[in-house]
Amino acid sequence: MDAPLLNTIQTPADLKRLSIDQLPQLAQEIRQTICDQVALTGGHLAPNLGVVELTIALHYVFDFGYDRLLFDVGHQCYPHKLLTGRLALLPKLRTREGMAGFPDPDESPYDLFAVGHAGTAISTAVGMARGDQLNNEADRKAVALVGDASIVNGVAFEGLNNAGTLDRQFLVVLNDNGMSISDPQGAMAAYFDRVRVSPTYGDFKKRAHKVLENIPGGSILEEIYHRGGEILKHAIATDHMFEHFGLVCVGPVDGHDLPTLIDMFNEVKDIDRPVLLHAKTIKGKGFGFSEDDATTFHSPKPFTVDGCRVEVASGGRSFTAAFADAMLALMAEDEKIYTVTAAMGPGTGVDKLIEQYPDRSRDTGICESLAMDMCAGLAKTGIKPFFAVYSTFSQRALDQAFQEVALQNLPVRVCMDRAGLVGGDGAVHHGFMDISIFRPLPGAVLMAACDEPTLKAALHFMRDYDTGASFLRYPRDSVAESPLQTDADCPPFKLGKANLVVAPNDKPDLVILAYGMPVYAAAEAIRKLYDESHDTPDTYDIALYDARFAKPVDIELLRRIIDADIPVLTIEDHTLAGGFGSAVLEACNEHGLPTHKIKRLGLPMKWIKQASRNAQLKEVGLDPDSIAETMKELIAAHPVNTHDHATARTQ
């Protein structure tokens, strides 16, 4: 067996010392290393396995210590990281001490942007290309690595439109694996399917270069045809759709053929025109299970392989699963309901709805703006649209939520999964801004669910709320196995009304208003305080409310609490700036209520790096122990009762 190669690669300079004949072995080692690690910790598997050869070839030809490499989304960056000196960080993948799951400039100068959203690479690469020209460094090559699902994003098309105006080298590598997280959507996907099977693309050598004289921009292509090598001559595509953006289009080529890729990159790297290289790859390449089921293995939890079987670790019942089941029940009751997602079918649970109700569900692909506008159009016709989207991606549709939804008073229902801290995906995916983004919209209603019963109740409320837009947030977490209130006990959502879940026996020392999942951390904190003090005179009497609404807040409840001179603690897994606690302070100010006994807990004004969700909550003081300490401090600072108290009880 040949000696291992990956351990010898500390920088891309080490890669360049290998012969081309050694590179397939390196590719296999990279795949095996990634598979072994993701099996232990979870992470993005199939996207990374599909770009191993592309990444090796890019680093073999370009010098990205000087040249520019921009990733789109970034979840396909593991091979890049292993080739740029971060093998030692891999064992602690997606933790604070280890390798981030997305590009991170704090981790390495080879990562230019911390990026986790689709559609951005071409536009940022155009900016860097222009900036390098202004700095008299136009010899720095610019490369954007983009997926076929990402390139349909509106920002990507805007980037292509501007890339075509560049008068310098610029390369877009289109990684076409025929997949988003799941199957690609829309007319573009159908176009790529036709390109892959077209005999026009199957035999480049049959094309006569005379064709170049008869097409727009043909003189440019003719020049490149004569200057390029044989591979480039035979690969130039004269009828590729992106040619009309002013790009020289090449391919498709085999994205796993290392010698051809290296030859191709060598031939296009010095072309002083924008070029798009279309590479056909297989998502999940080299691992049979991910090749057969790239959706499941896009970003799996830890898994084990037992012969012909693979078992993916299972957690508790997720909020996503609870949402999907609740929506299936609602759609069975109401034929006017229509569900929409933007390329996140499995991630939001909408894939189950599409399977059950294909005529009343739609995956629009990676285009949240279109999805929001489409929902506005549906609502205008009397349909009841539910847009299921990650909180971090909902912000991409803010303008449409403003112009086409809120301004028209249309009842679009936005269900935001992954709200709050998301764990290993880190800062690029935290859902920490949705309250502050959507709360200013006139007529909008903002809600949060803390468990499965409240999630169901909130969705029922949204179905019947037709005065304006409604927004519901819930976390990337498991629903409580023993909810504070069962379906039968959970009261319906009433506009702007909080719900008491832990009641005091006497006038409370403190009232907690928790928004969303922190209700459970607060309930645990109350139990901890009681366990610590039930044998002492310092037993606390605390009331806990599930706030339910960030807009409108329960001002009648606040008035009663503040008039009774009881301190208030607000808790949210959202930034304090413009969040639920801010809404409480603003409502009190508007109604002339004093706020000096109100304290807010939420996310600080800093980026929270990758770690487990529990570790992140502890870091920001939103775990039960930290909340308990804050409660004691607030009670000590504003004492209410002087007599002994009985135990707080769960209603």
More reliable by pLDDT, 216 or 369? 369
> H/E element holding 605?
none
Percent pLDDT > 70 in the chain is 88
Quick one: CA dihedral 8, 14, 18, 22, positive or negative? positive
**Distance set, CA 509 to CA 519, 539, 571 (Å):** 18, 10, 17
* pLDDT value at 195 more than 90: no
The pLDDT, as a whole number, for residue 240 is 72
Q: Domain for residue 493, yes or no?
A: no
130 plus 278 within the same structural domain: yes
283 plus 323 within the same structural domain: no
Contact (CB, 8 A) for 397 and 368: yes
CA torsion 389-390-393-397 (nearest 10°) is: 30
**What whole-number distance in Å separates Cα of residue 605 and Cα of residue 7?**
39
Q: Which positions are catalytic?
A: 283, 368, 396
- List the Cα angle 312/318/322 in 5-degree steps: 130
- pLDDT tens digits along 263-293: 999 989 999 999 999 999 999 898 887 888 8
Q: Which of 457, 473, 489 is the last residue of a domain?
A: 473
Which structural domain range is residue 34 located in?
Answer: 6-288
Q: Residue 257 maps to which CATH number?
A: 3.40.50.970
386 plus 512 within the same structural domain: no
Phi first, then psi: give them for residue 224, nearest 5 degrees.
-65, -35
Total residue length of the chain? 651
CB atoms inside a 10 Å sphere around CB 206 = 9
| Long-range contact set of residues 17-22: C-beta below 8 Å, sequence gap at least 24 | 20/258, 20/259, 20/262
Q: Which of 288, 309, 330 is the last residue of a domain?
A: 288
**What whole-number distance in Å separates Cα of residue 8 and Cα of residue 125?**
30
265 plus 333 within the same structural domain: no
Q: Domain for residue 176, yes or no?
A: yes
Q: Domain for residue 478, yes or no?
A: no
541 plus 467 within the same structural domain: no
Phi first, then psi: give them for residue 390, nearest 5 degrees.
-65, 145
202 plus 329 within the same structural domain: no
The pLDDT, as a whole number, for residue 197 is 41
Q: Which of 473, 491, 519 is the last residue of a domain?
A: 473
Per-residue pLDDT band for 230 (boundaries 50, 70, 90) equals: low
Phi first, then psi: give them for residue 428, nearest 5 degrees.
-70, -15
Q: What is the mean pLDDT of residues 91-115?
A: 95
212 plus 346 within the same structural domain: no
454 plus 503 within the same structural domain: no
Q: Domain for residue 484, yes or no?
A: no
- pLDDT tens digits along 556-574: 999 999 999 999 999 999 9
More reliable by pLDDT, 3 or 79? 79
Contact (CB, 8 A) for 498 and 554: yes
**Distance set, CA 30 to CA 36, 111, 512 (Å):** 10, 19, 50
Pairing between β-strand 598-603 and β-strand 649-650 as defined by DSSP bridges: unpaired
**What whole-number distance in Å separates Cα of residue 62 and Cα of residue 538?**
68
| Amino acid letter, 289 | F
**What whole-number distance in Å separates Cα of residue 75 and Cα of residue 475?**
21
**What whole-number distance in Å separates Cα of residue 173 and Cα of residue 164?**
14
465 plus 353 within the same structural domain: yes
Residues facing residue 175 across a β-bridge: 147, 279
Q: What does the H/E/C string look like for 149-168?
A: CHHHCHHHHHHHHHHCCCCC
Mark residue 485 as left, alpha or beta (left: phi above 0; alpha: psi -120 to 50; beta: remaining): beta
Report residue 616 as tokens.
Answer: 């992140």
Q: What is the mean pLDDT of residues 627-646?
A: 80
Q: Domain for residue 350, yes or no?
A: yes
509 plus 402 within the same structural domain: no
60 plus 112 within the same structural domain: yes
Burial of 18 (0-12, 13-18, 19+ CB in 10 A): middle
**What whole-number distance in Å separates Cα of residue 148 and Cα of residue 278?**
9
469 plus 506 within the same structural domain: no
The pLDDT, as a whole number, for residue 625 is 96
Q: Domain for residue 335, yes or no?
A: yes
Tell me the pTM: 0.88
Q: Domain for residue 298, yes or no?
A: no
Q: Residue 511 maps to which CATH number?
A: 3.40.50.920
Q: Domain for residue 43, yes or no?
A: yes
How many structural domains is the chain composed of? 3
* pLDDT value at 145 more than 50: yes
